[in-house]
Structure 1
Amino acid sequence: MWGTWSGESAAFFAFAALMLGGAGVMLSLKRIVHMVLAMAAVFLGLAGMFVLLEAEFVALVQVLIYAGAVSILMVFGIMMTGRKALEQAPPRRLHEAASGGVALLLFAVLFYAIRSTELPEPGGRPAAADNTLAIGQQLYTAHVIAFELISVLLTVAFIGAIVIARKEA
């Protein structure tokens, strides 16, 4: 494995480093807006992983929804909440230690499950065709009403959240 080095391997390790680095930086930062930017880097690295898996549509959705909309929504939510309540929170050492222990336990369980699972040999099924066109055709023909209703519902919910936040301020 280590003897053959390809562009795909280099891209995998670059995206993995971006994701792990972004997650580590996010946990070490103190300002919430900077944390959201680090989380956006993790989302972009995950989108790159989806591109390596030849799931271009999922990668595009990952960038549009998570790296874009969720990050912006979090920034708006942070801007509308009280900063003093966030800055005056006491340190929670017991919670941090318990979270670290649970994370290590989860890692051990996943590591054991992955190492003990026997995977089938590759080549059993044909390569998937590009289905982005089929998804788009279904979304904008058979499911266009549901698509538009969801967009209106999300817009109304966002406006309602702004109105509620402004009344409390």
Structure 2
Amino acid sequence: MLDRLIGFLSSGENLVFFVFSLVAICGAIFMISLTRVVHMVMALALTFLSLGGIYITLGAEFVGWVQVLIYAGAITILMIFGIMMTRHRGEAETEPQRPWHNGLLLVGAIVLFGILFYVIQNATITPQSAPVDPKDNTLQIGQLLFNQYVIPFEIMSVLLTVAFIGAIVVAKREED
């Protein structure tokens, strides 16, 4: 099994994928572990950026750049604006000290990683033929989005606009 791992990491593309995956996992762990909200948002942005890198590594350049522009850019900025517009109390909640808690979390994470690694290594995956031309996937995504899925696309834009206006209204009420 170790020779499979070494063979996997010998390719540069696989190594970059592994690094991006590790950064995404670390960013997600930091996001749920940190206590300050701004630090949590920055860890989430790190996760979004690394997911964009994974998409680009897998050959989905359009989805990767959309991930970087929309999630790592716009959503992260929107969350920071939401944090800045709301009022936060300076009271820090104290958690009871549990020294064994972090050790159990580490053991659980290692066991989960081991199980996932074993299952992925022993899985037989048959290659599928892609109906999309890999050199021109952006054109086909655009044609599908603006021809077949134009109504759901417009509904989502209206829903996001209403949600943003609602967040501003709620923030103004808290301020008064």
TM-score band by shorter chain is 0.7 to 0.9
1:164 is matched by which residue type in structure 2? V
1:34 is matched by which residue type in structure 2? H
1:91 is matched by which residue type in structure 2? E
Query: Which residue number corresponds to residue 73 of structure 2?
Result: 68
From 150, 153, 160, give the equivalent of 2:159. Answer: 153
1:11-50 per-residue CA deviation (whole Å, 9 max, x = no partner) reads 2244245334534554665432133122212211111111
CA 1:135–1:93 in 2, change beyond 3 Å: closer, same or farther? farther
Query: Which residue number corresponds to residue 113 of structure 1?
Result: 119
1:47-68 per-residue CA deviation (whole Å, 9 max, x = no partner) reads 1111111122221232133212
Q: Hey, what's the Cα distance between the residues in 2 that align with 1:45 and 1:10? A: 14
Asked if the contact 2:86/2:174 (under 8 Å) is kept, the reply is no
Q: CA deviation at 1:79?
A: 1.8
In percent, how many aligned pairs have the same letter? 49
Alignment of 1:114-129 (within 5 A): 114-120=120-126, 125=129, 129=133
1:92-128 per-residue CA deviation (whole Å, 9 max, x = no partner) reads 556x9389376566445534533443344x5x64695
Aligned residues: 165
Q: CA deviation at 1:155?
A: 0.7
2:142 is matched by which residue type in structure 1? G
Query: Which residue number corresponds to residue 91 of structure 1?
Result: 95
1:73 is matched by which residue type in structure 2? L
Q: TM-score, normalised by structure 2?
A: 0.70
CA 1:27–1:160 in 2, change beyond 3 Å: closer, same or farther? closer
Stretch deviating more after TM superposition (103-112 or 61-70): 103-112
CA 1:149–1:52 in 2, change beyond 3 Å: closer, same or farther? same
RMSD: 3.4
5+ residue gaps, structure 2: none
Q: TM-score, normalised by structure 1?
A: 0.72
